[in-house]
Amino acid sequence: MNADKNKFIQLIRHPVKFRIFLFSKLPSAFFSGVRVKAIDETKAAVTVPYTWFSKNPFKSTYFACLAMAAEMSTGLLAMMHTYKSLPPVSMLVIGLEANYFKKAVSPVIFTCEDGIAINNTILDAISSGASRSFEAKSVGRNKEGELVAEFFITWSFKAKKQGA
């Protein structure tokens, strides 16, 4: 793993710096309690709590809070692989699909294990100069390990033109 990816992981794992990032850039994730549980070059796990702030009127976790955690598990991997890249790479969510299997009535952990494939897509976007997309999968499980939901987030990556 290169030094920039290591530095990114250290920033994400720093409890104060990451919370400041969430508060300033993703306040809805901050207030709903979405937090990073684990991250490395290949996978990321993000939790969403079952609290008053994340619940819906049906006494389960609001789907948008589940989507935030799922998207963050994929987005952190994308951000890590684009962190300080030369040329810089833009990233954008261009699609989202979700399947729900069980009512979320406890904390849910979303895990994405597509880090290597995301990195390969980013490298292809850089080498080709063209936009490339990748559909990342994030699986959410409750504390019993039961499948609650799965999300498919499609990311688009494009190398920015130098000097533009």
| pLDDT tens per residue, range 72-120 | 999 999 999 999 888 999 999 999 999 999 999 999 999 999 999 999 9
pTM score: 0.92
- CATH superfamily for domain 3-159: Hotdog Thioesterase (3.10.129.10)
* Beta bridge partner(s), residue 109: 47, 141
> pLDDT for 110-163, tens place per residue?
999 999 999 999 999 999 999 999 999 999 999 999 999 999 999 999 999 876
Sort strands 35-39 and 89-100 into parallel, antiparallel or unpaired.
unpaired
Distance (Å, whole) CA 50 – CA 38: 19
